[in-house]
Amino acid sequence: MKKFMCVLAPLYMRAVTFLERLSFLPVLGIRLWIASVFWRSGLTKISDLERTIALFMDEYHVPLISPEVAAYMSTAAELSMPILLVLGLGARFAALALLFMTGVIEFTYMHFDIHIVWSLMLTLILCQGAGKASLDYWIKKKLCDPKCT
């Protein structure tokens, strides 16, 4: 058994090392997918702003701000935050903004189970960052002091 483990352990460790090198791919995939969800919604809103404002007046009852302001703010967020996510630039900020927006959608307009998925994806980016395939990672690695963590 010991001999078997001596053969198996190095193979296992090589597989783990290989998979760790690919760990940026799921985070990149999550960033691209969630960005596309919000980007498409923003394009829909901007294609007919009058209708968008009407929806915020009649259907989307966002508290504390006027329907016009809510319409413009949500459209701006849905067209800017996905760009930051795709680039991985200020990705944590973008994830926080979209997570907040998801909460507003969930609690003021309509409950959808997909909001849980969006929230989990955005929380992952918020907590762990955009990963190695991002400008955030490059900036940290290339421009920060080597002691920068």
- pLDDT at residue number 63: 86
pLDDT band at 62 (very low <50, low <70, confident <90, very high): confident
Contact 84, 94 (CB under 8 A): yes
- pLDDT at residue number 2: 76
For 9-52, write each residue's pLDDT tens digit.
888 999 999 999 998 999 999 999 999 999 999 999 999 999 99
- pLDDT at residue number 108: 86
Contact 53, 71 (CB under 8 A): yes
pTM comes to 0.86
For 95-108, write each residue's pLDDT tens digit.
999 999 999 999 88
Q: Sketch the domain layout of the chain as residue ranges.
A: 25-143
